[in-house]
Amino acid sequence: MTVFRIDCGYRNYDWGKLGSTSAVAKFAASSNPNTKVDESKPYAELWMGTHPSVPSVVVDNGKSLREVIEADPSLVTEPVIKKFGGNVELPFLFKVLSINKALSIQAHPDKSLAKVLHANDPKNYPDDNHKPEMAIALTDFEGFCGFKPLDQLATTLKTIPEFREIIGDDIAEQFINGIDTNATEGSEADKNNRKLLQAVFGKLMHTDEATIQTQAKKLVNRAETNPEALNAIDSRLAELIVRLNKQFPEDVGLFCGCLMLNHCELKAGEAMFLKAKDPHAYISGDIIECMAASDNVVRAGFTPKFKDVDNLVDMLTYSYDPIEKQKMPTTPCDKASGQASKCVVFNPPIDEFAVLQTVLDKQGDKEHFDAFDGPSIIIATNGAGTLKADGQEYPFAQGYVYFIGPNTAYDLVASEAGFTTYRAYA
């Protein structure tokens, strides 16, 4: 058995979309007819994989995917087990997220820092792995991703008095007069830029809550009554501040998120990769997400949860690339052939995973895939079709999820227009 359908669990976090407006709810109900969508509840995350918190279950026998892999480790393969450890875990966790309310502004440690954090504070850092993530938009999506370019931050310090009041004249002037916007990456000027950016961010994050609340009230009032200076920096900024303040009133995230981080918008099919030690947050939309198997999060704002400010300020890379550099390029899939209108790979610069997107526009269109070396999980997000492998045909409706074992060739055939799948693989 190298191909089998799995039923995947979901989470009802309060930031999820309500009822059937959520892609998570629609996919879960389509996959399992016993899932009754409660229109008053938020449906936030669909988990596809071996993570024990929300285990995927094999439809035919009711066993968890972990149990099936434990009984037959060849479904993961020896090279994957040797490289990533364990014999029941996939090296990635695949998800669908439906976001109605901003998630916390956060960053994730790299492997070396994760080992230290886990050893020193296992309660807040439950494992010693890194957690690189990739988000692919299913619908229009908004997020924060990395620090804004330095000239934008300098303008913000010059023109937004509430931000300037928190940072202080000394640090603000050192930043404005000390940055080199023409620095090449890795140069001494670039290193100095990052130190100056760290000084600004560190001062913000160590400011007492009462001061943040006072200045946040003024910032929101400015956004509502006199938005011109804010919108001169970014035409979306005033509206964003007002909207997120309704979700998290007078929160430090209005400054560290709205004023300091890139506000990234993705159209369906576009993606961004979230590197270790770079701050980010999801704001709205439906996405496919793939990540390394870890729960390590260092939070900065828009959250009532634990914020580890000292580690956060120390760990960040303080990269300041523009938005376009945050987006993930695609490459053609060299193992595919056929009639797909789109068959591309999002291949981030890490080993644990890549994601393959396939779109078949017309009924009857077919795409063939040669065997991959490692394990895969594939979900249909639009339309319907069949998956053909090992001489078998498997129905593939929207929301259905399949596990595909290593060294398994297969075909996708569209029975409806716009048949779209995403496949995560090691």
Domains of the chain: 3-142 (2.60.120.10), 149-259 (1.10.441.10), 330-425 (2.60.120.10)
pLDDT in tens, the chain (426 residues): 799 999 999 999 999 999 999 999 999 999 999 999 999 999 999 999 998 888 899 999 999 999 999 899 888 777 776 666 666 678 899 999 999 999 999 888 776 777 777 677 777 766 666 577 899 999 999 999 999 999 999 999 999 999 999 999 999 999 999 999 999 999 999 999 999 999 999 999 999 999 999 999 999 999 999 999 999 999 999 999 999 999 999 999 999 999 999 999 999 999 999 888 889 999 999 999 998 865 667 888 888 887 788 888 989 999 998 888 878 999 999 999 999 999 999 999 888 899 999 999 999 999 999 999 889 999 999 999 999 999 999 999 999 999 999 999 999 999 999 999 999 998
What is the reported pTM? 0.92
pLDDT digits (tens, 9 = 90+) for 167-206: 999 999 999 999 999 999 999 999 999 999 999 999 999 9
Inter-CA distances, 92 with 12, 88, 101, 129, Å: 21, 12, 25, 11
The predicted structure's pLDDT at residue 296: 64
How far out from the chain centre does Cα 30 lie? 24
pLDDT at position 120, please? 73
Tokens 């060849």 -> residue? 74
Q: Look at residue 112 in the predicted model and tell me its pLDDT.
A: 76
Name the nearest CA neighbour of 98 among 38, 39, 169, 10. 10
As annotated, the binding site includes: 106, 108, 133, 280
Q: What is the reported pLDDT for 129? A: 62
Annotated binding site for Zn(2+): which residue ranges?
106, 108, 133, 280
Q: Residue type for 318, please?
A: Y
Q: What pLDDT does residue 52 have?
A: 83
Q: Catalytic residue, from 66, 194, 222, 299: name it.
A: 299
Q: For the chain, what's the residue count?
A: 426
Q: Which two tokens stand for residue 401?
A: 């999820």
SS3 per-residue string spanning the chain: CCEEEEECCEECCCCEEEHHHCHHHHHHHHHCCCCCCCCCCEECEEEECCCCCCCCEECCCCCEHHHHHHHCHHHCCHHHHHHHCCCCCCCEEEEEEEECCCCCEEECCCHHHHHHHHHHCCCCCCCCCCCCEEEEECCCEEEEEEECCHHHHHHHHHHCHHHHHHHCHHHHHHHHHHCCCCCCCCCHHHHHHHHHHHHHHHHHHCCCHHHHHHHHHHHHHHHHHCCHHHHHHCCCHHHHHHHHHHHCCCCCHHHHHHHCEEEEEECCCCEEEECCCCCEEEEEEEEEEEEECCCCCEEEECCCCCCCHHHHHHHCCCCCCCHHHHECCCEECCCEEECCCEEEEECCCCCCCEEEEEEECCCCCEEEECCCCCCEEEEEEECEEEEEECCEEEEEECCCEEEECCCCCEEEEECCCCEEEEEEEC
Q: Is 299 a catalytic residue?
A: yes
Answer whether 206's CB lies under 8 Å from 168's CB: no
